[in-house]
Chains A and B, each alone.
Chain A
Amino acid sequence: MSEFDAALGGFLISALRSSTPLLWVLLGEILTQRVAVVNLGVEGQMLAGALAGFAATLATGNPWIGLIAGVAAGMALSSLHGLLCVGLKANPFASGLAVWMLGFGLSSFYGIPFVGQKINGFKSMPLGFLERIPVIGTLVTQITPTVAMGILASPLLGWWLYRTRTGLSFRAVGESLSSAKALGLKTAWVQVMGIMAGGAFSGMGGAALSVDYTRNWVEGMTQGRGLVAVGLVIVARWNPYLAIPAALLFGGAEALTLRMQTSGVPISSHLLHTLPYLASLAVLVLSYSRANKEGGTPAGLSAVFSQSQ
């Protein structure tokens, strides 16, 4: 295998791996925003998922149990968002911030004994002949279960959203709450489902981060990935099929940052670390001007976004 192949494969895989936690959260937030609810609390849900996943993996030695624990933690926190903004009709932005504060506080509080511990994560999968193909070989041998599942989840969710009856009910609620209600849909129930799905996916994203990617727990370790995901939903046009390229944007910038750091580029690592945020912000702004022109935003959601005007 040539050195170039190895380098290219290496970069692709590191981009993919650092995108994966974000991809999960992004998919979750797409589902939530599809039912016309914005959830900034995904940041806190991700932290809760990361801690629960790490703790469960450490206790049982089984990373799969860690992922399940992460999903459960994310759902537990998102149920608060459902209660506040669907049940009590509180402002979704404020409710999301409250969920974020709680998730951050609780994960810092309960995470103290886990700081500095290490886990092994997943065992690598034997793939036989695939390993010998250039570029792709490097790729597949280093793909971890959360990466593979994330790549599968994106088209599956796309199919579900556009091709099934329940997916249609999500889209109907997102377009117009009153029409969906007139059609006989239980809109509040659908919205809660959307929020809980977002909770499950963001908890999964957090667990993917701590169990599979960093394999440790650090207070506030998500570093805004959840908030970036809320922004990237617009870039992905609320479309699960487009979630992977949108997530790769942040992940690619992060992988590039790490690559530049290790190859000794004389730029401060702190400055380099602003790159993923600035890249996401730039694309967000560009998508906004496109979305303003062309539409594509769930109509009920744009009401949520513009209610402050």
Chain B
Amino acid sequence: MIVPLIKEPPKPAALFKQPFRIPGLTVIAAALGFLLLGSIFFLMVGQPPVATFWAMIKGAFGDGYSLSETLVKTAPILLCGIAAALPARLGLISVGGEGQLYFGALFGTGLVLAIPGAPMYAMLPLMLAASAAGGALWALIPAFLKARMNVNETITTLLLNYVASLFVDFLVYGPWKDPNNLGWPATINFPAAAKLPALFGTRAHIGLIFGLIAAVALYVLTARTRWGTCLRLLRSNRRVAEGIGLSYGRQAILVVCLGGMLAGLAGICETSAIQGRLQSGISNGMGFSGFLVAWMAGGDFLRIIPLSLLLGGLLASGDSLQLFAGLPSSAALVLQGVLFASVLAAGSLKARKGGDRV
């Protein structure tokens, strides 16, 4: 009997495998599924579907104000989306954007509280660097556990999200609480030197620019450099890649921590530019929305940009649902879940037809 020298290598996962490579059909199927299920939801709660969807679109992109609110929501989703898409380049399912966002906010705020009198040219870069370091540090735990002990990163990142938000709660209810807040758990308002600049006089902030730069930079890096080739090789055939001297563990730590840096930046942008101080519950599920965007984009960094805008619009229009239909803003969360389910269903329909399912 002939024993094969190299065992059959594990097949690359269908994870993030660009479900939208042929746009037409899959996108249409996902959109139709979303509209159908969303309409059923609206009918169940006694709202006319067409008018409600129209109100949502107007609420997301209808005028200058709503567009600016959409951009406010887009920025953290974009950053967290890249934070999920980059580990996906190695086939890792990291859902830790939420916790990394909290830790970035925590570290950035810590720096602001440590040197409250610093001038802006020193404060802003240091604050951003601290938040990136915080996000990366929090991402290092699941990355290390994955690289060294092969502990499933999805479960560890999800559990660490809870721990990170409890750490922030500890600080804003305890040592960092501003006594002048009369019981409201929050730090002092950031000094003017620690406020990130807004864009075009709206509430939209520079985090959006960071996200755009990161998306384009990573697109180029992964498509054109040796590093990108190395990631592709490690993902498609880990044994062969390791045979020629590439280290899976080192690359896993690198991509997860780089993602953590971006999610951390999202945290400090939200804290500094939107809230103006660190308080409990800053994120509201941005990390998970980012994950959804990364999935919809099939891990393609450029596609993440318009999809983040779309999801930012969906979440921003939650407020208009409240005004127009009297629906609580959690309706946007329901629609987000409906969207995810539709995308998954449409993606597998296509995979089945194309026959490239793994």
Judged by a CB distance under 8 angstroms, whether A223 is at the interface is: yes
User: Do residues B344 and A94 form an inter-chain contact, with CB atoms below 8 A?
Assistant: yes
Judged by a CB distance under 8 angstroms, whether B194 is at the interface is: no
List A contacts of B170 (CB < 8 A).
268, 270-271
List B contacts of A95 (CB < 8 A).
341, 344
The answer to whether residues A105 and B333 also contact, given A89-B357, A95-B344, A308-B13 and a CB cut-off of 8 A, is yes
The answer to whether residues A308 and B93 also contact, given A97-B291, A97-B340 and a CB cut-off of 8 A, is yes
A168 vs B27: C-alpha distance when bound (angstroms): 41
User: Do residues B10 and A309 form an inter-chain contact, with CB atoms below 8 A?
Assistant: yes
A271 vs B165: C-alpha distance when bound (angstroms): 10
Judged by a CB distance under 8 angstroms, whether B254 is at the interface is: no
The answer to whether residues A89 and B352 also contact, given A228-B159, A270-B174, A309-B91 and a CB cut-off of 8 A, is yes
* Interface-facing stretch out of A4-12, A55-63, A67-75, A276-284: A276-284
The answer to whether residues A88 and B338 also contact, given A97-B288, A274-B167, A309-B91 and a CB cut-off of 8 A, is no
A244 vs B45: C-alpha distance when bound (angstroms): 40
> In which size bucket is the chain B interface?
35 or more
Contact mask A40-67 → B, CB, 8 Å, 1/0? Answer: 1000000000000000000000000000
Judged by a CB distance under 8 angstroms, whether A130 is at the interface is: no
Is the contact region of chain B dominated by helix, strand, or loop, or is it mixed? Answer: helix
User: Do residues B174 and A288 form an inter-chain contact, with CB atoms below 8 A?
Assistant: no
Judged by a CB distance under 8 angstroms, whether A305 is at the interface is: yes
User: Do residues B152 and A91 form an inter-chain contact, with CB atoms below 8 A?
Assistant: no
List B contacts of A224 (CB < 8 A).
158-159, 161-162
Judged by a CB distance under 8 angstroms, whether A101 is at the interface is: yes
List B contacts of A223 (CB < 8 A).
162
Judged by a CB distance under 8 angstroms, whether B130 is at the interface is: no
List A contacts of B352 (CB < 8 A).
88-89
Judged by a CB distance under 8 angstroms, whether A109 is at the interface is: yes
The answer to whether residues A89 and B174 also contact, given A101-B340, A281-B156 and a CB cut-off of 8 A, is no
Q: A273-B166, A306-B10 are in contact. List 7 more A-B contacts (CB 8 A).
A: A88-B345, A95-B341, A105-B330, A109-B334, A274-B166, A277-B160, A307-B358
- A-B contacts, 10 of them at CB < 8 A, read A93-B154, A97-B95, A103-B337, A108-B333, A219-B330, A223-B162, A231-B155, A270-B170, A274-B163, A288-B150
